[in-house]
């Protein structure tokens, strides 16, 4: 009797595996939604659209980006977590997803079990520390000295996001205290700074390349391990603040947790191929990202490690769950 049940289960599993394999062979046979929890024109949005355009060409079906803003990207993540696990709704996000399990008391989902890693997209070495070009502050040391004497407001796209975390870790290393003003997105933070509502912001390079080139903002420092290629004269924060650990960013594609492995594998191979295409790699390298397409298993290991490290950083920064 037990042997009969075991054989039946084996046959069933084989049938399921074969069905999933056949689904993957025909995937995609309709448009695919790429959900992004950042505003149009932001760094993650630019890179999601760049890769999506190449996937559309390579796979013959439209991969279109859908921006779902709010709550530090958790609305976008929830959209994917609750979607059918068939590969037709996937998430592209930055390291901003990593702090969310530690800053929200109840997300309603588990980023490690309700999402399945598809592929990493790229790794960014650092962030810019920006002020308005009209500011009297010319250097990072001047800013630190100023922040030790005066009340300073800074902005980020919400409590506990990666840019908020980076700013708090920098503040601790520099021995300063600033007041955080949360916004809905990076573009709103920039508008606030240019309008004088806040004084400083941390930001990924893709979001501000044009503003820097036009001279509308001033980069006091770059938080990476080496100078940013397009702006090599911007000093490194680690050379000015002893003990400050360089802070960067990364991008990742994720699917609903129960998405079949065969579809994830097909997406992974397509994303890796897209990252090697001249059009995609040119955009990423321009923005300071190193294309970094890992296998699903490697991506899963990377994701878990980054989540754990970010949890430690949230505690170090003193950010309380809300």
Residue 152 is assigned to a structural domain of this protein: yes
Same-domain status, 223 and 260: no
pLDDT of residue 155: 96
More confident residue, 12 or 321: 321
Same-domain status, 256 and 168: no
User: How far, rounded to the nearest angstrom, does the alpha carbon of residue 34 sit from its chain's CA centroid?
Assistant: 14
pLDDT, mean of residues 202-228: 93
Neighbours of 303 (CB within 10 A): 22
pLDDT of residue 14: 47
> Between helices 296-317 and 162-174, what is the axis angle to 10°?
50
pLDDT (tens digit per residue) in 23-44: 688 999 999 999 999 888 888 9
Same-domain status, 119 and 195: no
Same-domain status, 153 and 7: no
Residue 213 is assigned to a structural domain of this protein: yes
The H or E element containing residue 77 is helix 74-81
Q: Tell me the C-alpha distance between 172 and 318, whole Å.
A: 10
Same-domain status, 157 and 171: yes
Same-domain status, 34 and 118: yes
Q: Tell me the C-alpha distance between 265 and 119, whole Å.
A: 9
pLDDT band at 193 (very low <50, low <70, confident <90, very high): very high
pLDDT (tens digit per residue) in 260-275: 999 999 999 999 999 9
The answer for residues whose C-beta is within 8 angstroms of residue 243's C-beta and 6 or more apart is 173
Same-domain status, 139 and 57: no
Residue 300 is assigned to a structural domain of this protein: yes
Q: Tell me the C-alpha distance between 58 and 38, whole Å.
A: 25
Number of domain units in the chain = 2
pLDDT, mean of residues 191-198: 96
The H or E element containing residue 143 is helix 140-149
166 contacts 127 by C-beta, under 8 angstroms: yes
Expressed as residue numbers, the domain containing 25 is 2-124+249-317
pLDDT band at 243 (very low <50, low <70, confident <90, very high): confident
Same-domain status, 101 and 135: no
Which CATH number does the domain housing residue 147 bear? 3.40.190.10
Residue 322 is assigned to a structural domain of this protein: no
Mean pLDDT of the chain: 90
Using a pLDDT cut of 90, give the percent of the chain over it: 67
Q: Of 239, 262, 283, which residue sits at a domain end?
A: 239
Same-domain status, 174 and 153: yes
Same-domain status, 116 and 8: yes
Classify each residue of 49-71 as buried b or exposed e, where b means 16 or more C-beta atoms within 10 Å of its C-beta.
bbbbbbbbeebeeebebebbbeb
Same-domain status, 119 and 134: no
Q: Which of 303, 302, 299 is nearest to 271 (CA)?
A: 299
Same-domain status, 107 and 88: yes
pLDDT of residue 23: 66
Lowest mean pLDDT segment, chosen from 100-104, 128-132, 158-162, 172-176: 158-162
Residue 192 is assigned to a structural domain of this protein: yes
The token pair that represents 262 in the structure block:
């065969």
More confident residue, 70 or 290: 290
Q: Is 220 exposed, middle or buried (0-12, 13-18, 19+ CB in 10 A)?
A: buried
Residue 229 is assigned to a structural domain of this protein: yes
- The per-residue DSSP string of 6-34 comes to HHHHHHHHHHHHHHHHHHHHH--SS-EEE
Beta strands in the chain (DSSP E): 32-36, 63-67, 89-94, 115-124, 128-132, 153-156, 179-182, 200-203, 217-222, 249-256, 289-291
Residue 165 is assigned to a structural domain of this protein: yes
Q: Of 187, 205, 239, which residue sits at a domain end?
A: 239
Q: Of 239, 259, 279, which residue sits at a domain end?
A: 239
Which CATH number does the domain housing residue 305 bear? 3.40.190.150
Whether 5 has a pLDDT exceeding 70, the answer reads no
pLDDT band at 15 (very low <50, low <70, confident <90, very high): very low
Lowest mean pLDDT segment, chosen from 7-21, 41-55, 202-216: 7-21
């Amino acid at each position: 009797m037990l042997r009969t049940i075991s054989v039946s289960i084996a046959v069933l599993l084989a049938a399921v595996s074969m069905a999933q394999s056949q689904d993957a062979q025909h995937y995609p046979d309709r448009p695919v939604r790429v959900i992004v929890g950042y505003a149009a024109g932001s760094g993650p949005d630019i890179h999601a659209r760049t890769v999506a355009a190449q996937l559309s060409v390579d796979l013959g079906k439209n991969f279109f980006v859908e921006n779902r803003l709010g709550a530090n990207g958790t609305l976008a993540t929830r959209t994917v977590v609750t979607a059918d696990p068939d590969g037709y709704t996937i998430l592209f996000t930055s390291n901003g997803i990593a702090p969310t399990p530690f800053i929200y008391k109840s997300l309603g989902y588990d980023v490690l079990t309700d999402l399945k890693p598809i592929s990493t997209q790229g790794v960014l070495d650092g962030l810019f520390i920006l002020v308005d070009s009209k500011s009297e502050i010319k250097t990072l040391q001047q800013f630190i000295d100023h922040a030790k004497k005066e009340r300073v407001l800074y902005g980020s796209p919400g409590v506990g996001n990666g840019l908020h975390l980076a700013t708090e870790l920098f503040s601790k290393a520099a021995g300063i205290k600033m007041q955080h003003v949360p916004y809905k997105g990076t573009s709103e933070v920039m508008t606030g700074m240019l309008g004088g509502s806040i004084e400083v912001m941390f930001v990924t390079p893709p979001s501000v390349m044009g503003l820097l080139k036009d001279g509308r903002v001033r980069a006091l420092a770059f938080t990476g391990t080496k100078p940013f290629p397009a702006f090599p004269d911007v000093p490194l924060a680690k050379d000015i603040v002893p003990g400050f650990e360089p802070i960067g960013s990364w991008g990742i594609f994720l699917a609903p947790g129960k998405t079949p492995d065969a579809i994830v594998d097909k997406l992974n191979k397509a994303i890796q191929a897209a990252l090697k295409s001249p059009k995609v790699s040119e955009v990423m390298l321009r923005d300071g990202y190193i294309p970094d397409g890992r296998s699903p298993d490697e991506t899963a290991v990377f994701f878990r490690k980054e989540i754990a490290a970010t949890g430690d950083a949230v505690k170090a920064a003193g950010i309380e769950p809300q």
